[in-house]
Structure 1
Amino acid sequence: MLVFAAHPDDVDFGAAGTIAGWTAAGVKVTYCIMTDGDAGGFDESHRAGIVAMRAREQKAAAGLVGVEDIRFLGQRDGYLEPTHDVVKQVVELIRELRPDVVLSMHPERAWDRIQKSHPDHLACGEAVTRAVYPAAENPYAFPELVEAGLTAYKVPYLWFYGGPRERDNHFVDVTDQVEAKLAAIRIHASQHPDLPAMDAMVRANLKENARRCGLAEDRSAEVFHVVGINTPVTFAGF
């Protein structure tokens, strides 16, 4: 699985429970964090070292859910755009790792809670979508990557997190992974001035997700918009 996020901590809020379940089952997961997170935080004393701090936080949080391979694109926080250069970086990583699933932030704005739709989140989703189809599977897109040995690759499935509520079509029971997810989120202490409030909000959201998909009252779930890209029911790009 190859997981994209705009900032350090995005993936922990959106999908860390699901990812913890995957790694526990032996699935190899790689993170790609697109920006350096330099615009995050609340403490003025952190400014000089915020980029390194956030990278350390993300590495530690990833380790708690079984992820060791983390790539950082180093784009500037707040300035991410789905440019050809960014799309090429995504294509390069997809062709290198050849994942069964690409997981990304959603490219559509969620009006029910606009905080999910930071412009960098939308740009992350758009860049990944453009990379997954058609660029990664087109041998004539970015021919310099083919020359470097990174041949075209067809991604089977694209999963999105953090999208509009009406797009949710897949729910994952993460009841057994809730504490690992919250532990990963808490690692990003530079971003949370009120950890107890954050904890309560996340637990409530997970319970609400479970309720929406008909799970028992004591269950928790993460939600995704799953799109089949190259599956048994797709044909020649149609």
Structure 2
Amino acid sequence: MAPLAFVGVGVVAGVQADGSEGSGAAGLAATLEAASGSFGWAVLALLGVAVLDVVVACALWTVFRAERPGAAALAAAFRIAYAAVFVGAIAMLADARRIADEGAGGASGLGIDDRDLAVLSRLDGFDAAWNAGLVLFGVHLAVIGWLLLRRPGGFAVVVGVLVLVAGAGYLADSVLGVLAPDGPAVAQYTFIGEIVLIAWLVVGGIRSIRADRELVAHATQPEAVLAAVDARAARADATEGARR
């Protein structure tokens, strides 16, 4: 997800930076039209992130559902809802590309200035919708952190605290995006909880695989089977002794 998001957001930010001058939008549509191909791939990359968000939501639900099914379903619901909002935001990027590709006086009948303003409106709408959706993502992480705090083991508790902090960072960014749009991004300092969560999941997955293999080994060689093998070996030894 990280490489896809890096590529997608990077291209969008590049178009915004190259096409905007000060507070206006002079040349923004022309810049997007020139970068139409890469911008289209960026939109697809971000859609891929949204799809993977749903996959991760379902995967985390399977991890926590056995212990607290209600909270696990709630966490998954918040992340799926965030993915839906994110797709809606991405749709604004696709519409911005459509307007830019039409050219001035195209099917929309927009002139150069109006086309620039329309593209700027879609790009700003993408930022605003995504920022609002981060509230849902932050709540998702908060629920996951709460679930981790109720798991046995010190490592799970540490991960839970860090995930809660990461969720709080996204919530802060979303609120600050409304109150102070030019303020600093908090989540860029608190995201470490997501990285540690990945490590916890990998370690837990390895332990689970090992436990399953041991269970299968014991199931395929129960004590009765081992006793029968020992008895057969004893009879073979007795027969060989009698022959001697």
TM exceeding 0.5? no
Into which bin does the TM-score normalised by the smaller protein fall?
under 0.3
Q: Which has the larger radius of gyration?
A: 2
Which is richer in helix?
Answer: 2
More strand by share: 1
With normalisation by structure 2, the TM-score equals 0.26
TM-score by length of 1: 0.27
